Structure 1
């Protein structure tokens, strides 16, 4: 989490605690919201590597130095971008006994936000987010689960949320890596399978991979949505069994 020294030279002030500068009448007005929106648009199109203060300033028809009135570093910009995405994720409904439904909706809503902003997957795997939207989302998640049957201990609630988040990050990163490969190679999944099919067939014909051969020939190979749902159900079944013990 990026920070800068306070005006008195004392403890660093996080971006969340620093007031936004007053607006000025200019041909290209700026605000943190406008800066973040422009940065997210760049990242959605070309990834985080496309985001720099210079490029964001150009997108806003402003000089780069003007952005430093609103934030100090690119790291602060990334923090603001991540918090903006948290603001898109609906707060989970109270469990009311159905903690599985609460966790399932939490996972699905987060996955949809990441699929809209693929760069956000890496931020999910990092340190805890401290922005107002992230904190509100975590508070709503904890509140929705705490006190549900089997979840009357706050440590258990945290472990359950961490387990779901770990599955979510892994599953989404895998899904996004496939989409990234399609963009880089210009081949979708079907085209890639046709291109690699002869090689795989030759390898399977050696007889050294009998179980893999069964996977290739007999497995159903569900789509990304079904794969995500099924894996999530496996995880929730395991959580239910642990709670029951």
Structure 2
């Protein structure tokens, strides 16, 4: 296959992301991306050295779409962090199969670094610093990543919730009742209210 004349790293990342979105993360390989681009696998090595570098390009593309502009000052810091969390969720949730990659490569993705820098600035202005600021940022990353995975792999509206709701009440009364309530909660409500619980804890 000929080498595409217009191939750029951005186009390469877009092709890799197409493979992930369509076929799942397990399908990502130098061969499948080369096929998506209409070129030979060996030709792909002219642009990236291995799959790890390819994954990094994917994360750059996903996190590069996040708006990292600080929300307007003058509003409560919790609202500003909530805005930033929503932006990150929206960008990553468009490609849920790529979530594990964003965890593995976020330290090298410029968009992810800019997001963290903005959030750390907000936390600092709120008087959250030192070790507490470290834990706060990690907690936010953990919550957002976990919430997206749960929403994708085990949504409250899914079969898993219905199965738990049908558990025998003599053995699992609280779990069964909670599952029956869960079906009426939207993904946005679940994410936002869970985030607000975390932010209230950070304020203490």
* TM > 0.5: yes
1:77-108 alpha-carbon deviations (Å, 9 max, x no partner)? 00111111110111042563522112101211
Written as runs of structure 1 = structure 2, the 5 A alignment for 1:96-245 is 96=73, 98-126=76-104, 128-146=106-124, 148-151=125-128, 153-178=129-154, 189=158, 193=162, 196=163, 200=166, 203-204=168-169, 207-216=170-179, 221-241=184-204
Aligned to 2:12: 35
Taking a change above 3 Å as real, the CA distance of residues 63 and 213 of structure 1, as seen in their structure-2 partners, is closer
Written as runs of structure 1 = structure 2, the 5 A alignment for 1:87-102 is 87-94=64-71, 96=73, 98-102=76-80
Match of 2:34 among 42, 57, 67: 57
Distance in 1 (alpha carbons) for counterparts of 2:39 and 2:105 = 32
1:2-24 alpha-carbon deviations (Å, 9 max, x no partner)? xxxxxxxxxxxxxxxxxxxxxxx
> Does structure 1 conserve the Cα–Cα contact (< 8 Å) formed by 2:68 and 2:111?
no
Distance in 2 (alpha carbons) for counterparts of 1:51 and 1:217 = 38
Following TM superposition, the consecutive aligned residue runs of length 4 or more in structure 1 with deviations greater than 4 angstroms are 25-28, 216-220
Distance in 1 (alpha carbons) for counterparts of 2:161 and 2:119 = 39
- Give TM-score scaled by structure 2 length: 0.83
Specify which structure has the higher proportion of helix: 2
- When structure 1 is superposed on structure 2, of 155-164 and 229-238 the one drifting more is 155-164
- When structure 1 is superposed on structure 2, of 43-52 and 135-144 the one drifting more is 135-144
1:169-203 alpha-carbon deviations (Å, 9 max, x no partner)? 22222111126xxxxxxxx737983xx48x926x2
Displacement of 1:109 in angstroms is 1.2
- Number of aligned residues: 201
Structure 2: which 5+ runs fail to align?
none
Distance in 2 (alpha carbons) for counterparts of 1:101 and 1:222 = 21
> Does structure 2 conserve the Cα–Cα contact (< 8 Å) formed by 1:57 and 1:64?
yes
Displacement of 1:157 in angstroms is 3.0
> Does structure 2 conserve the Cα–Cα contact (< 8 Å) formed by 1:42 and 1:50?
yes
Structure 1: which 5+ runs fail to align?
1-24, 180-187
Taking a change above 3 Å as real, the CA distance of residues 223 and 64 of structure 1, as seen in their structure-2 partners, is same
Taking a change above 3 Å as real, the CA distance of residues 230 and 219 of structure 1, as seen in their structure-2 partners, is same
- Give TM-score scaled by structure 1 length: 0.70
> Does structure 2 conserve the Cα–Cα contact (< 8 Å) formed by 1:71 and 1:77?
yes
